Chain A
Amino acid sequence: MAAEAAEYEAGEPHTRVFRVGALGSGWRQCLQPRDLSLAEEEEEEEAAEAVAEELGCTVETAAELRALCSADALGSADQERDPEAIPEDSGLETLRFRKKALQRREERIVVDRACRQETLTYEMESHAVGKRPDDAADLVEEGELLLTLNIFYPVIFQKHKEHKPYQTVLVLGSQKLTELRDSVSCVSDLQIGGEFSSEPDRAPEHISKDLYKSAFFYFEGIFYNDSRYPECRDLSRTIIEWSESRDRGYGNLQSVKMEDYTFSDLSLRIGFPYLFCHQGDCEHIVIVTDIRLIHHEDCLDRNLYPLLTKKHWLCTRKCFVCKMYTARWVTNKDSLAPEDPCFFCDVCFRMLHYDAEGNKLGDFLAYPYVDPGIFN
């Protein structure tokens, strides 16, 4: 058990390998039922008794201890004081800096209110907090593990060299890997392949997501392949064959089915980059940043998980002509366009490239375009 559980004091950027489920069962063994309970805060008498039991002392001593160590001892006498106001005579450096910053802001900023991005970020973080489902069957179990994953975008822009943008997802330990796979929204899933300059109306309905259903996760030497549909192929086979062809020092790489595993079954490291690959070559880095037990203040509705809590805001590319609507078409080698490639919204695209009868004007190649900012 000790070998399976994680160390809490690792010095490197990531921990060593451990089984997620073992961590959960270890914690559950150590904690009392009332710690795991998802009910609201407990009663006073019960709490004192619980402390007495744990420390092996009398209830009176426990009550005394609780009084001494209570958080109230740390608050101020004037609890009603406005937390927005910074006390005048504070000795704290933090407050000194904060006061200066606030003064500077007041002097410079004309209007001080939240911008769209800030509102969106805050909403995403907090919209599901504390939610309980209507149906009791959908309630998250006590002692359930909650994992926080960062899934990075595959888009490689020049400006993303330093900090790669990512989205943060919360998953439950008992959820299957396939549930996460389905919830990942990537723009490459929505691509429509093909050149459609001659028949712009016949751009097919099928998006890549429907056509290419294969995907895999890679954690600690094991490839978890999606094999729920007959079209799914084992994308990891190429990699495994490559690593086995010579002694490349990767050890034994295995391939298993994604739908058979839950997050609790996995062995992984926290902070270590892993891989999610779909559409053949669209690769996302996945990092587990946090594992903890579910708390009564978390979202307790199973159906909302995997829960997206943070997303990077990507600016959408607008049509070159009207600069109002999001681009839906991209053209190459276009004699009518000023740059290559050039983006158009649907209306402007047709107006420019086709006449009233629908005949193609000029020479160009046109592809349907899905903007990465579509998920904003």
Chain B
Amino acid sequence: MSAVPGLQKDCEALLGAFQEADTVRFERFAELWRERRFHTVFHGRMRALERNKITKKTLELAQQYFLPPYAFQIRVGALYLLYGLYNTQLCQPKIKLNYRTKKRIEENECKEEFKDPSNRVSSLITNDALEELMNIHEHYQKMKCAISADKSQPDKALSLIKDEFVVSLKDIALEHQEWQQKRLKLLLKAKEADEMPDSMEEGTSLNSEGSERADALARIKRKSYSAVVEASRSRRHRQVMLESSESGSDYGKSPRQSEMRAGKETVTHCVGMPVITEEDSSDTEVVPNPHHYPQTLALNPVNFIPILKGQILAISTQATVQNPDCFTPYFSPKFLLFTYKNSVPNLPAFTPNCSPESSLIGHKLRSL
């Protein structure tokens, strides 16, 4: 189905304005809608069949913004947009919303700014990956012990892996995340202090999924609830008082939902660290990166990989002391996993001049 020309631009303009308004109040959305007289999007002379088709396509387009990977605010805006479009449509009987609309949602159609920031590091070092690493490592250790002289621990030549490398890997990921959160807080504080107009854009480019989203949610909530609507004169006596406790059922569910969804992937989950943190942001000094990383570069998660590489290099250099052939400059965690997986069941024969470990790795590297 071809798109309705100009519709995407109009929707994105409206949702963009809603995002800038930095609220989730329907009233604000309704104001923006009325400004643009958005209900006229269905106007124009057309026969019944064409009207049906165009209405259907309009609703489908709006529905796309309601699904992930869009940010929470955009999704709320999309919900209001759907509500508005559904109720102002001219078709009789009304066109309903489909459970599934497009079969393929094109990647390049999504507007970058609306996307929820993703945390690639956390998605790389997930709980599952760590668990698997640990399991395989244990298995491997057992095999090494089995073929060693002393059954309780592997031979000196075989024991080259730091036993706690999984734990240290997890710690690194945790530290990085903590550092990112602190950095984000600093930025937000700076924004509130200086009222930087483009902080929203900057905010979306930082990478820290769960807690950033939660922080954003808490912020929006606070702002919405503190903005009390002043009732019209006739209803002044019914002026709503600002409540201290957050009882709004509209938003009450969402932090929990985002926590559940975020908790699935972040490493923090397994250590029991709370995803939603209400930390007292009193640190105004420059937050030092635990690994002395230059601040500007740290925004890009790809730069995190060198830290990881450093740790793994430490492991691999021990292996390669005996056999320099199999040294590789880059060792991703997934690759590590792969080599372990493939090497555990078939231990090749020993060669006198290099350790089984390095020959294993070398063997796998050469066969790839």
Contacts and interface: CB of A to CB of B under 8 A. Distances in A.
Interface of A: 8-9, 13, 15, 55-56, 60, 64, 68-69, 71, 73-76, 83-87, 90-99, 101-102, 114, 118, 121-122, 125-126, 129-130, 270-271, 289-292, 295, 297
A74 B47 contact: no
17 contacts: A9-B68, A55-B249, A64-B238, A69-B26, A74-B30, A74-B38, A76-B40, A85-B43, A87-B37, A93-B5, A96-B6, A98-B44, A101-B5, A125-B49, A290-B99, A292-B99, A297-B93
Contact of A125 (B42, B52, B90, B100): B52
B10 interface: yes
Interface string B103-131: 11000000000000000000000000000
Contacts of B38: 74, 92
B42 to A, nearest CB: 7
A93 B10 contact: yes
Q: Looking at chain B's contact residues, is the secondary structure mostly helix, strand, loop, or mixed?
A: helix
Interface residues of B, number: 42
Interface string B225-249: 0000000000000100000000001
Contacts of A8: 67, 99
A76 B40 CA distance: 9
A102 B45 contact: yes
Contact of B40 (A86, A122, A270): A86
Given A75-B39, A76-B37, A97-B5, A86 B93 contact: no
Closest 5 CB pairs of A and B: A93-B6, A71-B87, A97-B5, A94-B6, A297-B93
Contact of A92 (B6, B45, B83, B93): B6
A96 B42 CA distance: 12
Given A76-B37, A97-B6, A271 B43 contact: no
A290 B103 CA distance: 12
Nearest to A113: B47
A295 B96 contact: yes
A96 B36 CA distance: 13
B10 A122 contact: no
A222 to B, nearest CB: 22
A291 B47 CA distance: 28
A155 B49 CA distance: 27
A278 B84 CA distance: 46
A297 B5 contact: no
Contacts of A92: 6, 10, 36-38, 40-41
Contacts of A121: 49
A69 B30 CA distance: 8
A74 B88 contact: yes
Contacts of A83: 42-43, 90
Contacts of A271: 100, 103
Contacts of A85: 43, 45
B238 A94 contact: no
Given A9-B67, A68-B27, A102-B44, A94 B39 contact: no
Given A13-B103, A95-B41, A74 B52 contact: no
Given A8-B67, A90-B37, A94-B7, 13 more contacts: A9-B67, A68-B30, A71-B83, A71-B87, A73-B30, A83-B42, A84-B43, A93-B5, A96-B6, A98-B44, A122-B47, A125-B52, A126-B48
B100 A270 contact: yes
Contacts of B48: 122, 126
A94 B100 contact: no
Contacts of B222: none
Nearest to A68: B27
Interface string B16-56: 00000000001100100110111111111101110010000
A152 B26 CA distance: 43
B281 interface: no
Nearest to A72: B87
Contacts of A270: 99-100
A122 B26 CA distance: 36
Nearest to A297: B93
B87 A95 contact: no
A73 B38 CA distance: 12
B149 to A, nearest CB: 42
A91 B6 CA distance: 11
A129 B36 CA distance: 33
B13 to A, nearest CB: 8
A121 B53 CA distance: 11
Contacts of A125: 49, 52
B347 interface: no
B34 A74 contact: yes
Nearest to B37: A76
A111 to B, nearest CB: 13
